[in-house]
Structure 1
């Protein structure tokens, strides 16, 4: 019988997936706001955060957000937002044929990223 896999949190996940553009607009202890741009083929892989929520706000394009616990799929268009609670696994994909630009507000609490793949 295989031993259970231990999931390790990282403090900086920028090296784990590729995006067209990443910019940090605000970084304070316990809270940050970043802007990400994904091409039609890029994604932010399955992960969760132990202590913080992710609030997504779409600026341009269409976001397809997949969540577990419970299983859910959310489509967001410009001006729409969604909050992924701490501990809830999620995957972010571009749901359109052009670049997706979105803001992600992370906090309040210590940032970590727990990859699931």
Structure 2
């Protein structure tokens, strides 16, 4: 049985917390990793932050919309575009199109964690 983290509780792996069409880890070294994610039009990566690492998103196919806090911001990206989210900055990743979104997320440099900002029932 998988336990659900409380809001603000740091966890080392969040892959069980949200569904994606596909997830592939391309590289993982101490302090750095590259993951490819594919989201359907109705899938999201929920609100979260990271304590020590930033996320750099690079869109391969489709349209991505990032919602960010501190400060509040919305960013839309297409193929070949990227955006870096600083450590500690809350963000939500959504598919902004009507077809699958495929993107890379580069995470580092530092110890990875996932801090959910919304409690899940």
Instruction: Give the aligned partner of residue 64 of structure 2.
Output: 63
2:25 aligned residue: 24
Aligned-residue offset at 1:99: 0.1
Normalising by structure 2, what TM-score? 0.92
The alignment covers a number of residue pairs equal to: 113
Q: Could you say what secondary structure the match of 1:41 adopts?
A: coil
- Aligned pairs for 1:1-117 within 5 A: 7-117=8-118
List runs of 5+ in structure 1 lacking aligned partners.
none
Please state how far the C-alpha of 1:88 moved relative to its aligned partner.
Answer: 0.2
Counterpart secondary structure, 1:12: coil
Runs of 4+ in 1 over 2 A off after TM superposition: none
TM-score for the superposition, normalised by structure 1: 0.95
- Hey, what's the Cα distance between the residues in 1 that align with 2:30 and 2:16? 21
Structure-2 separation of matches of 1:47 and 1:63:
16
Partner SS state of residue 80, structure 2: coil
2-structure distance, mates of 1:6, 1:23: 26
User: SS state of the match for residue 15, structure 1?
Assistant: coil
**Over aligned residue pairs, what C-alpha RMSD do you find?**
1.0
Q: How many angstroms apart in 2 are the aligned matches of 1:7 and 1:19? A: 22
In the TM superposition, residue 62 of structure 1 has moved relative to its aligned partner by 0.1
Distance (whole Å) between structure 2 residues aligned to residue 54 and residue 62 of structure 1: 17
Deviation of 1:6 after TM superposition, in Å, equals 6.2
